[in-house]
Amino acid sequence: MERVDISILGREYSLACPAEEKAALTSAAQHVSQLAGRIQGTGKVSGNERIAVMAAIQIAVELLSVRAPDGPLGGLAVGDFKRRIDDMNAMLDVAIATSSSSKTK
How many distinct structural domains can be found in the chain? 2
The answer to whether residues 49 and 76 belong to one domain is: no
- Answer yes or no: do 42 and 77 share one domain: no
What residue numbers bound the domain in which 103 lies?
69-105
| Whether residue 43 sits in one domain with residue 7 | yes
- Band (pLDDT 50/70/90 cuts) for residue 81 is confident
CA distance 87 to 27: 34
- Quick one: 33 and 76 in the same domain? no
Answer yes or no: do 8 and 40 share one domain.
yes
Helix (H, G, I), strand (E, B) or coil at 41: helix
Domain co-membership, 47 together with 92: no
Q: Give me the CATH number covering residue 16.
A: 3.30.160.880
What's the CA gap between 28 and 77, in Å, rounded?
20
- Same-domain pairing of 39 and 75: no
User: Are residues 34 and 57 both part of a single domain?
Assistant: yes
Average pLDDT over all residues of the chain: 87
**Confidence band, pLDDT 50/70/90 cuts, at residue 105:** low
* Residue 51 and residue 9 share a domain: yes
81 and 54 within one domain: no
Q: What are the tens digits of pLDDT across the range 5-47?
A: 999 999 999 999 999 999 999 999 999 999 999 999 999 988 9
CA torsion 83-89-93-99 (nearest 10°) is 130
Comparing 1-5, 39-43, 83-87, which segment has the lowest mean pLDDT?
Answer: 83-87
pTM, 2 dp: 0.65
